[in-house]
């Protein structure tokens, strides 16, 4: 089984890092550098996981994930943030929700673990 993963980050370097990190994994990875472009394709596939940067110019990552969940309620979400205070607040506010939070700059081990955990839940839905 291959999973559909959407990654949204304005940094081309982050998108390329994801492509390299997950190139041998059982997934289709769709990368967007603009959250508005990503929203245009939300109804084209069943999305198992969406990974979004918290700090984007057009809309923040949490708002983006909320919009995704409106159209696709079973989609898992991961927010990437470099701000420890934002991360701590989100983890308190969304405890028990289907969101995960990872610190930027990304640690390959942490992001792999977060993606695998989210996909294991998505597989059961």
The pLDDT value given to residue 88: 57
pTM > 0.85: yes or no: yes
- The distance of Cα 63 from the centroid of its chain, to the nearest Å, equals 12
85 pLDDT above the threshold of 80:
no
The pLDDT value given to residue 21: 95
- Distance separating alpha carbons of residues 72 and 1, to the nearest angstrom: 19
Dump the DSSP string for 30-77. Answer: EEES-HHHHHHTTTTS--SEEEEES--SSS-HHHHHHHHHHH-TT-EE
The pLDDT value given to residue 82: 81
Which domains, ranges and CATH numbers included, belong to the chain? Answer: 3-124 (3.40.50.2300)
Lowest mean pLDDT among 12-26, 27-41, 83-97: 83-97
Helix (H, G, I), strand (E, B) or coil at 22: coil
């Amino acid at each position: 089984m291959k999973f559909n993963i959407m990654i949204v980050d304005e940094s081309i370097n982050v998108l390329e890092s994801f492509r390299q990190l997950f190139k041998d994994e059982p997934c289709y990875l769709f990368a967007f550098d603009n959250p508005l472009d990503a929203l245009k394709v939300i109804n084209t596939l069943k999305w198992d996981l969406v990974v979004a940067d918290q700090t984007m110019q057009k809309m923040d990552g949490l708002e983006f994930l909320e919009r995704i969940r409106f159209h696709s309620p079973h989609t898992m979400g991961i927010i990437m943030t470099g701000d420890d205070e934002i991360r701590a607040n989100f983890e308190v506010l969304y405890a028990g929700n289907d969101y995960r939070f990872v610190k930027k700059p990304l640690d390959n081990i942490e992001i792999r673990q977060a993606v695998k955990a989210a996909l294991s839940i998505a597989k059961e839905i």
